[in-house]
Amino acid sequence: MAGERSDEIVVVGGGVVGLTTAVVLAERGRRVRVWTRDFAEATTSAVAGALWWPYRIEPVALARVWALRTLEVYEELAARDVRSGVRVVEGVLGGTRLDEVEGWLAGRVPELRATTAGEYAGPAVRTRLPLLDMPAHLPWLRERFVAAGGVVEARTVSSFAEAEAPVVINCTGLAARELVPDESVRPVRGQLVVVENPGIDTWLVRKDEAGEYAYMFPQPDGLVLGGTAEEDVWSLEPDPATAEAIVRRCAALRPEITGARVLAHRVGLRPTRPTVRLESEPLPDGRLLVHNYGHGGAGVTVAWGCAEEAARLALD
């Protein structure tokens, strides 16, 4: 082992989970390198709708603990650091009843209440939640990490043995399927459409009886419309018919979207797993491998809670 790296930690993966984990470790005084195949702006995290909400993540009980810790951090960032890209924005969770969420959210999010008949047709909850502008948040995370002494390197990793550090943290998301290898990691394809915002300043999420989603998130670069959840689909090419259907579903909820100029199409592959893998694994050569992957559609939602748990495993 190279002597100069005997106290170093290597985080493999440069999405929101990897960068947040690296920030936590670096700000605790550890020497940390991030190895990433793609810089943050080219990761799945970069195309996330990025509303704080535990979506497609198991186990639910732990996910809620990680999510609530992350909520604390985002609320603080929204209040004090506009550069972080975190805002707390009002919106509606359609198809969700108040009694389904108030047990674990009561007193934790502001203005949590059932919607009125005039606000939404059917059961729904209105509240204020963190909404992240990922093109701003990811560079901010990287800058915060570098300011704490961290180093980011563009590197494709074929084996964790390549890292000579005594502690390696696996935040590779979907790539863990081949790298670990872990065949339980599967893609859930999400497609989004960004349109010129006609003046909408609240978010809306709805899942209909057929299981199709419609959601809209007002972001600085436009109104983000979604979406899809296609299991085991690997294509990153936007599908025109899917895009048209997304706009149509969203326009049915907010007619002013009809005819809005399309600015961009985005596709991301959520790294889904039956449960998040957040655990340590001793390696045969005496080094420690910490796994932190499989967050599905909730990487943004649990990033800080999982990062702190990964740091505990790495430093204990």
243 in a known ligand binding site? no
Q: How far apart are CA 247 and CA 233, in angstroms?
A: 21
300 in a known ligand binding site? yes
Q: How far apart are CA 309 and CA 85, in angstroms?
A: 24
Distance of CA 303 to CAs 2, 48, 180, 300, Å?
Answer: 31, 13, 21, 5
Q: How far apart are CA 290 and CA 303, in angstroms?
A: 15
The answer to whether the beta carbons of residues 167 and 314 sit under 8 Å apart is yes
In degrees, rounded to 5, the angle at the alpha carbon of residue 212 between the alpha carbons of residues 210 and 218 is 150
The sign of the CA dihedral 64, 14, 174, 187 is positive
Half-sphere exposure of 127 (CA within 13 A, CB side): 25
Residue 73 identity (one-letter amino acid): V
In degrees, rounded to 5, the angle at the alpha carbon of residue 86 between the alpha carbons of residues 81 and 194 is 140
E strand or H helix that includes residue 65: helix 60-80
270 in a known ligand binding site? yes
178: nearest Cα among 197, 157, 196: 157
Q: How far apart are CA 48 and CA 270, in angstroms?
A: 9
The sign of the CA dihedral 162, 164, 170, 171 is negative
15 in a known ligand binding site? no
74 in a known ligand binding site? no
175 in a known ligand binding site? no
92 in a known ligand binding site? no
34 in a known ligand binding site? no
297 in a known ligand binding site? yes
268 in a known ligand binding site? no
146 in a known ligand binding site? no
213 in a known ligand binding site? no
* DSSP-derived pairing of the beta strands 213-219 and 288-293: unpaired
Q: Binding site residues for FAD, as ranges?
A: 44-45, 157, 172, 296-301
Q: Binding site residues for D-dopa, as ranges?
A: 215, 270, 297
Q: Binding site residues, as ranges?
A: 44-45, 157, 172, 215, 270, 296-301
